[in-house]
Structure 1
Amino acid sequence: MNLSLLNKRIAQIFLLLALSTSALFAQNGYTKMPLDQLESAFEQYKEPALTHRRFKHADLQPLIQRHASAFEVEKLGESVDRRSISAMDWGKGKTKVMLWSQMHGNESTATMALFDLFNFLEGKGDGFDELRNLLNSELSLKFIPMINPDGAEAFKRRNSLDIDLNRDAISQISPEAVILKKARDDFEPEFGFNLHDQQTYYNVVNTPKQATISLLAPAYNYETDINEVRGRAMKTIAGMNELLQQVIPGGVGKYDDAFEPRAFGDNIQKWGTSTILIESGGYPNDPEKQEIRKINFMIILNALHQIATKGYENYTTEQYFAIPDNGLQLVDLMINEMQVKVNGKNYPVDLVIRRRESEAAEGYYVSGAIDDLGDMQVYFGFETLDATGLEFTLGKVYPEAFESVESISEEKALELLKEGFLAVKVKNGTARQLHGLPVQVLKSTEKISGGWMTGSSPNFFLAKEGQLKYAIVNGYLIDLANPKKQEFKNRIL
């Protein structure tokens, strides 16, 4: 047999194998959804009214009512502060799926994605009707898009009783917890999606890769056993991860599965619903989580397709356990080998700094803090500075007060930094007033808040032989010779 004929025969064999595999998948009713279709669906149906994370209960009500003709909208009850909590039902299939979001008020990424999904499910004549018909005939979907509206109002984790709803599944102290439990018990879903956000500092363990999405099939007992219910969730997650690796390769973590006896996810798994936790973390240059919103839309729609076709049966629990664990090793800024002087002697130390958000009347600000110091080799920084040969140096307060924040330009603030002034005073303004200047602004105090020890506010200079090279202002790094454009979220002190 000549070589060309042999190659032809080999090609025919591979074609037959491929067709056999396709036939097997067709028999199972499962064909994987292409990534480009999912991306196209999102772009067509992204909800334009939701453009940032800090929306409130009132912002969602007209959007919910807009879908009342295609969805069955039901008021389930009210929060502590008497805000309505609604469910939206869609589909006529025998497999029941419940999805709930914003149990923690400041975890809103998936809520945005749900409203994109509502738009998609209501669409028609766009090439996706076959998929919609499949989902509608096979699934009955119940969505609860905002279970903690009081927390969302203040953009905080807990409800108005200061209770973490995800630790109230058993005691049922909060009305919101009662509503969620009753919804599950009345509906008796086969699958459940518990939709959350996690800190942006989560990484794929022992790597610098941010865990943009973390997944979990929660445990239902302390032994973290696997029964049929939990196994179904694991297999569905394995299919979701296959898609995610195309979108954010290496950016998926597995959330800690230690059993928490008070948590909703763990108990809903225990009560017989195959429960899937989605945690939305961070993504580069995506502070309002619009890219992660898109990813949520795609993996939820993909998972619903898996459930409708039982495509999850093509995956294994071993594939689930192959997903690497979450770590908590990311920091905003890592400074290596900075020289600090104690009792006349210099010591080289590494610092790691994190900047955390706090709410304000007109928006939010960040507060930097030194989380740890010493040997920080187990951490990864969004920014890292090799400070070898650079000395910790205190800053000064500019002696003349300015009229207001508005009278200080960014150029003037950078000029003062280069002269060693880390802070300025203002005559007018209020404490906690927001500003975007790369310098401390003082109104209620005349002292700089800062230092290099753990817990300190990171406000200082780095100098070489007395010449200032870098400023660290509220945890932001500023190269004095070549300052880059960045957005500062500071407040008047």
Structure 2
Amino acid sequence: MKLLPIILLTTVVFASCSNPLSSTSDSDFSKAMKLDTAQFNTLHKKYKEPALFHRRFKHSDIDSLIKVHAQNKVFVVDQIGKSVQGRSIYELTYGEGDIQVMLWSQMHGDEPTATMALFDLFNYLEGKDDDSSEIRELLKSKLGIHFIPMLNPDGAEIYNRRNAQSIDLNRDARAGQTVEGALLKARAKAIVPQYGFNLHDQSIYYSVPGTKNPVTISLLAPAYNEGREINEVREGAMQLIVGMNEILQQYIPDAVAKYDDTYTPRGFGDNFQSWGASTVLIESGGLKGDPEKQEIRRLNFIIILNALIQIAEGSYKKYEAAHYEDIPFNASLLHDVVIRNLSVGNDSISLKTDIAIRRGETTVGRDYFVRGRVEDIGDLPEAIGYDEVDAEGLHFVAAKLATNEVNDISSLTMEQAYALLKKGFMAAPVKTVGTRRESSLHSLPIHLFTQKQFFTTSSIDLGGTTNFYLGDSSGNLKYAVFNGYLIDLSKDIKDLTFKNRVH
């Protein structure tokens, strides 16, 4: 089917596509301020905002932090509007230079990683006595940096992608029908930025093609038209991304990819690019052992800070935009657990197959619990797991329910729960649970239930539960697949973290 061309109508007109730094000579590039990985690490450790330490922080958390920054008077802090439900939306401005840069985060309420990094960056820009005064003076004199953290505070409040009107703000650049989308569009018109940073989180299940690695950071220079052509504006974004990738490969080799570059006429990144701002999309993905994305937060801090320095210097122009194409696109092959060659058949029909498992999160206040589900069954050699096991010679074993009632959650230790798990028990009745909804959450490797019945996994079914064992022909239990977590029963459990809830 032939697609008709899309005509973009907008009242926003940015500056000319010519870049104010395009006249920077090659000799100037040798003056570029370079920070090595050790220096970046030291700076982030010093300035990491301690009040933000998990993904489900609320608007009140950042509201109080912004008020502190306003008192410090390093930033110009303005409340530029309110969300649908009346929560304040702020802009923090740093610098007095001619080059205007806009950064906005958390337009999707459940994508908070970059917001944490921005507050780390705020602390850094207010810092002193750390050998960074020259960098701060460079940024302050050359740039006008406009930060809009948490554009969607209503979504953040319930850890939801969309705003309170159930609209995806990143599909409202053309119409501007939401108060939050219209606000971002209005600020873009007023500021007329030459550079933009669109900050998001992506699925943790993207993988880097040709590797078994999750995509930890995904980058994109969005298309400004349906033909995905490259003009000077988009080329600048590509050059910035090549510089970011150069740093990231030192931290997370072969864990960087590009986001899909299909032109999206409703998307803010695409529109900022068409309005004349070299715009970079940063998507925070997955990293094993980093469920709260604190390491990925650090990477955001590093690449954003370095990009701002290179914009101020004009030194990003040294990178060849052609190297942007060397970064592969996201692939969708990743799962939490992949089990290979498991015997799951019965006496009459044998079946040896692969199983892919994913865990879904449900938010409870500032915390969450997970439920594992069977994502796929069959011949899955291309599937990749954060955890994998070759179950050749092993077979499916159903879990048992303990009969002794647990008095309350606090009376059962991790060691006791693990001992039950090793004996083939995955669930036990519990007598009492606290009255608060959060009190039903726990981190034990056993299901606790107050209902009359609880069912463990009786067979492997697509979309079904994941509470069973892998055992050998002698009846020995080798692995537990507990709520979507893979547990090697021969190893210590102390370093494992579970997100569970009383049933």
Equivalent residue number for residue 408 of structure 1: 412
Match of residue 239, structure 1, among 218, 243, 248? 243
Counterpart CA distance in 2 for 1:406 and 1:164 is 41
Show the counterpart of 2:48: 46
Alignment partner, residue 460 of structure 1: 468
Query: Could you tell me which residue of structure 1 aligns to residue 481 of structure 2?
Result: 472
| 1:192 to 1:362, Cα distance in 2 relative to 1, 3 A | closer
Residues 1:184 and 2:193 aligned together: no
Query: What is the SS of the residue equivalent to 1:126?
Result: coil
1:444 to 430, 451, 455: 451
Q: Secondary structure in 2 aligned to 1:352?
A: strand
Equivalence for 2:125: 121
Moved more, 364-373 or 59-68: 59-68
Deviation of the 1:83 alpha carbon: 0.2
Cα separation, 2, equivalents of 1:40 and 1:442: 46
Larger deviation, residues 62-71 vs 209-218: 62-71
The residue number in structure 2 matching 1:268 is 272
> Structure 1, residues 126-151: CA drift from partner, whole Å, max 9, x if none?
32222112111111111001101111
Instruction: Spell out, residue by residue over 1:151-201, the C-alpha distance to the aligned partner (whole angstroms, 9 max, x if none).
Output: 111122121112221122222232111111111111110000001111222
SS across alignment from 1:414: helix
Q: Structure 1 CA distance, aligned partners of 2:289 and 2:374? A: 23
Task: Write the letter of the residue equivalent to 2:98.
Answer: K
Distance 1:63 1:29, change over 3 A: farther
1:9 matched residue in structure 2:
none
Whether the aligned pair in 1 keeps the contact of 2:235 and 2:321 (CA below 8 Å) is: yes
2:389 maps to 1:388: no
Shift of 1:447: 3.0
- CA gap of 1:37–1:473, structure 2 versus 1, over 3 A, is closer
1:484 aligns with 2:493: yes
CA distance in 1, matches of 2:366, 2:321: 47
After superposition, where does 1:247-266 map in structure 2 within 5 Å? 247-266=251-270
Counterpart contact for 2:158–2:365, Cα < 8 Å: no
Query: Which residue of 1 is the match for residue 32 of structure 2?
Result: 31
Match of 1:6 in 2: none
Q: Which amino acid aligns with 2:497?
A: E
What is the Cα deviation at residue 46 of structure 1? 2.1
Q: Does the 8 A contact of 1:460 with 1:471 survive in 2? A: yes
Gaps of 5+ in 2: 1-23
Aligned residue type for 2:327: I
1:342 to partner: Cα distance? 4.6
1:355-408 C-alpha deviation (Å, 9 max, x unpaired):
122111362111111111111111111211111121112223223433333333
CA distance in 2, matches of 1:227, 1:340: 55
Contact 1:206-1:327 at 8 Å conserved across structures? no
Corresponding residue of 1:8: none
Residue deviations 1:322-381, cap 9 Å, x none?
A: 112222222111111111125712111100111122111362111111111111111111
Cα distance in 2 for residues equivalent to 1:482 and 1:268 = 51
CA pair 387-48 structure 1, distance change in 2 beyond 3 A? same
Deviation readout 1:78-137 (Å, 9 max, x if unpaired):
001100001011111111100001111121111111112112222234322221121111
Moved more, 270-279 or 441-450: 441-450
Q: CA deviation at 1:227?
A: 1.2
- For residues 476 and 130 of structure 2, what CA distance do their matches in structure 1 show? 63
Question: Hey, what does 2:17 align to over in structure 1?
Answer: none
Question: What is the identity, as a one-letter code, of the residue corresponding to 2:111?
Answer: E
**Which residue among 348, 355, 371 is the counterpart of 2:352?**
348
What is the TM-score with the length of structure 2 in the denominator?
0.89
Which residue of structure 2 lines up, in the alignment, with residue 55 of structure 1? 57
* Contact kept in structure 1, 2:397 and 2:468, CA below 8 Å: yes
Matched, 1:65 2:67: yes
Counterpart contact for 1:461–1:470, Cα < 8 Å: yes
- Map of 1:333 onto structure 2: 337
What is the alpha-carbon distance in structure 2 between the residues aligned to residue 25 and residue 38 of structure 1? Answer: 25
Find the partner of 1:434 among 408, 425, 441: 441
Return closer, same or farther for 1:212/1:396 CA change in 2, 3 Å cut-off.
Answer: same
1:80 to 1:336, Cα distance in 2 relative to 1, 3 A = same
CA distance in 2, matches of 1:103, 1:449: 39
Structure 1, gaps ≥5 residues long? 1-22
Q: Deviations over 1:214-250 (max 9, x none)?
A: 1100112222111111111111111111121222222
Structure 1 position 417, deviation (Å): 3.1
Query: Is 1:135 matched up with 2:163?
Result: no
**SS of the residue aligned with 1:203?**
coil
Letter in 2 for 1:31: A
Per-residue CA distance 1:238-294 (angstroms, 9 max, x = gap): 111112122222221111111122211111112221110011112232222222222
CA distance in structure 2 between the aligned counterparts of 1:365 and 1:331, rounded to whole angstroms: 18
Alignment of 1:211-250 (within 5 A): 211-250=215-254
Return closer, same or farther for 1:314/1:401 CA change in 2, 3 Å cut-off.
same
How far 1:52 moved relative to its partner? 2.2
The answer on whether the counterparts of 1:233 and 1:275 sit within 8 Å (CA) in structure 2 is: yes
> Aligned-pair distance for 1:312?
1.9
Structure 1 residues 461 and 43: alpha-carbon distance in aligned structure 2, compared to 1, 3 A threshold: closer
Report the Cα distance in structure 2 between the residues aligned to 1:419 and 1:43, rounded to whole angstroms: 43
Residue 100 of structure 1 aligns with which residue?
104
Task: Sort the Cα spacing of 1:290 and 1:361 in 2 relative to 1 into closer, same or farther, 3 A.
Answer: closer
- State the 1:32 CA deviation: 4.9
Equivalent pair of 2:89/2:153 in contact (CA under 8 Å): yes
Alignment partners' CA distance in 1, 2:423 and 2:301: 50
Q: Following TM superposition, by how much is the alpha carbon of 1:24 offset from its aligned partner in structure 2, in angstroms?
A: 6.7
SS of alignment partner, residue 357 of structure 1:
strand
- Counterparts in 2 of 1:32 and 1:442: CA distance versus 1, 3 Å: same
- Cα distance in 2 for residues equivalent to 1:410 and 1:120: 39
Q: CA deviation at 1:25?
A: 4.4
Verify the 8 A CA contact 2:398 2:456 in the aligned structure 1: no
**Pairwise CA RMSD:** 2.1
Cross-structure match for 1:11: none
- Structure 2 distance, partners of 1:162, 1:415, is 45
